[in-house]
Amino acid sequence: MKEEHKEHAVRIGKNILNLLIMYEKEQKDLAEYLGVGEGTVSRWIHGERTPRMGTIDRISKFFNVPRSAVLTDPAYQYYDDETVQIVTDRLRKNPEYSVLFKASANVRPEDIDLVTKFIEKFSD
């Protein structure tokens, strides 16, 4: 596999794994939905293979997320601030806080900016 394809496969694999964790699903759930073996899903997650585009569309449908959630960097990595990445990663992995991470998955950047400005206004 070419290096650029490997990076793409690894990114997609990480995204699938993150979606499984975020939506509290198992590889077998996704495999059953797609009609593939668990080994196939495992190879995707480990970046050994890449699902075809039609399968990526079905993965998106399974999680009820846009195709970009499977293809591009996870939303919590869009932030340049390393502190934000660390905090959101903790939220995602901590079972007590996972509900917050799930709720934030559908938040638009504009909404985050609005809340941030609101907090800043009352913090002064």
Question: What pLDDT, in 10s, does the model give residues 49-83?
Answer: 999 999 999 999 999 888 888 988 654 444 445 56
Provide the pLDDT for residue 51.
95
Band of the pLDDT at 110, cuts 50, 70, 90?
A: confident
User: Taking all residues of the chain, what is their mean pLDDT, rounded to a whole number?
Assistant: 79
Per-residue confidence (pLDDT) for residue 6, from 0 to 100: 84
Average pLDDT rounded to a whole number, residues 89-117: 67
Helices 82-93 and 3-22: crossing angle in degrees, nearest 10, is: 50
Task: Answer yes or no: is pLDDT of 32 > 90.
Answer: yes
CATH 1.10.260.40, applies to 3-71: yes
- CATH 1.10.260.40 positions along the chain are 3-71
**108 compared with 26, residue with greater pLDDT:** 26
pTM, two decimal places = 0.60
Q: What per-residue string of b and e applies to 65-99 under the rule 16 or more CB within 10 Å gives b? A: beeebbeeebbbbeeeeeeeeeebeebbeeeeeee
